[in-house]
Amino acid sequence: MAQHTYDNEAVQELLNWAKKMLETKNYPTERYQVNQCTTIIDGQSYLESLIAMISRNWENPTFYPTIEQLWEFREKWENKES
C-alpha cells in the first residue's frame, strides 16, 4: 500500500473522489470485500459515512486510520475498474 499524506490538499482530493462516486452512483451495489476485515454491504452508506467523518475530523490524527480506509477502498476499486 502506498504511503499517504494527511494534508488538506491530499484529503480534499480523496473526499472529492468519493463525492464524485456518490454523484455518479459508481460504488458497490452488492457485497464488496475490501480486505480480510472489511466487507461493504451498502456502498452508498459506506461512502456517506466516511465522507462525513473525514470532513469533520481530518486534522485529528485519531482519524488517520479512517482516511487510510477510504484510500484502501479507492485503490482496490480503481484496480477493479482497470
For 14-56, what is each residue's pLDDT tens digit? 999 999 999 999 999 999 999 999 999 999 999 999 999 999 9
* Average pLDDT of span 60-79: 95
Burial class (CB in 10 A: 0-12, 13-18, 19+), 36: exposed
CA dihedral 58, 10, 22, 49 (to 10 degrees): -20
Distance CA 8, CA 3 (A): 16
Strand, coil or helix: what is 36? coil
pTM for the model stands at: 0.91
CA angle 32, 34, 40 (to 5 degrees): 45
Residue 32 pairs in a beta bridge with 40
